[in-house]
C-alpha cells in the first residue's frame, strides 16, 4: 500500500495507523486433545482497522506425537469483514512421507468463522504457511482471532507451538 500524502496534509495517528502492520506471536505452547471443535487461540489475535485490506502472512508450528489427530484452523472476527484463505501445508489425504504440499483457497467468506483449512501433521513439528487476506468493513475496526483444533478428535495432543506468528500487512 503506497503512502499517499498531499502537501500540507497533517499526518494524524488515525491515518498512520491504517498503514502499519499488525503482528501476533504465540507466547507459549497450547495443546488440545480429544476435540475436533475449533476454539480461539489466546495469542494469535489481531486488532485491524476499518476500511483496510490486509495480507495475512505467517507460519503455524504444529506438533503431535502421532499423525492421527491432524490439524485445522479458521479465522473468526468481530463486526464486518471478508476473509480469503490461501494457506499451504501437508496434504491430509496422502502418506506424509511423500512430502506432498497442499494449498487451500476458498472463495470470499463473509460469515464468521471462516471455512476450516485441514492439514496433516507429521510425528514431530509441521509448518503451515499462512497466506490469507482479510478485507475489513468500512465502518468499524475488527478483531481477528485464529481458531484451531485437531482435525480428527484423538487422545494424542496436538500442540500449536510457541513462536507461531501472523502479521497483517495493509495492502489497500
**Distance of alpha carbon 41 from alpha carbon 162, whole angstroms:** 12
- Domains within the chain, CATH numbers bracketed: 23-170 (2.60.120)
Q: Mind listing the pLDDT tens digit for each residue in 82-132? A: 888 877 776 655 444 555 556 666 666 788 888 888 787 877 788 888 989
Q: Mind listing the pLDDT tens digit for each residue in 70-81? A: 889 999 999 999
The count of C-alpha atoms lying within 13 angstroms of the C-alpha of 14, restricted to the half-sphere facing its C-beta, is: 4
CA 4 to mean position of chain CA atoms = 29
CA 87 to mean position of chain CA atoms = 9
User: Nine-digit cell at 138?
Assistant: 468500512
**Distance of alpha carbon 11 from alpha carbon 20, whole angstroms:** 13
Amino acid at each position: 500500500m503506497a503512502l499517499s500524502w498531499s502537501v500540507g496534509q497533517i499526518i494524524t495517528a488515525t491515518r498512520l495507523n491504517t498503514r502499519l502492520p499488525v503482528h501476533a506471536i504465540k507466547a507459549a505452547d497450547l495443546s488440545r486433545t480429544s476435540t475436533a471443535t475449533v476454539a480461539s487461540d489466546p495469542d494469535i489475535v489481531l486488532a485491524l482497522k476499518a476500511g483496510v485490506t490486509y495480507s495475512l502472512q505467517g507460519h503455524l508450528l504444529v506438533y503431535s506425537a502421532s499423525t492421527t489427530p491432524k490439524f485445522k484452523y479458521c479465522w473468526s472476527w468481530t463486526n464486518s469483514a471478508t476473509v480469503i484463505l490461501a494457506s499451504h501445508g501437508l496434504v491430509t489425504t496422502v502418506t506424509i512421507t511423500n512430502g506432498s504440499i497442499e494449498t487451500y483457497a476458498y472463495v470470499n467468506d463473509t460469515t464468521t468463522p471462516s471455512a476450516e483449512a485441514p492439514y496433516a501433521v507429521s510425528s514431530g513439528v509441521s509448518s503451515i504457511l499462512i497466506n490469507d487476506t482479510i478485507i475489513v468493513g468500512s465502518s468499524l475496526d475488527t478483531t481477528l482471532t485464529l481458531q484451531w483444533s485437531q482435525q480428527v478428535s484423538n487422545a494424542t495432543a496436538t500442540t500449536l507451538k510457541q513462536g507461531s506468528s501472523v502479521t497483517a500487512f495493509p495492502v489497500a
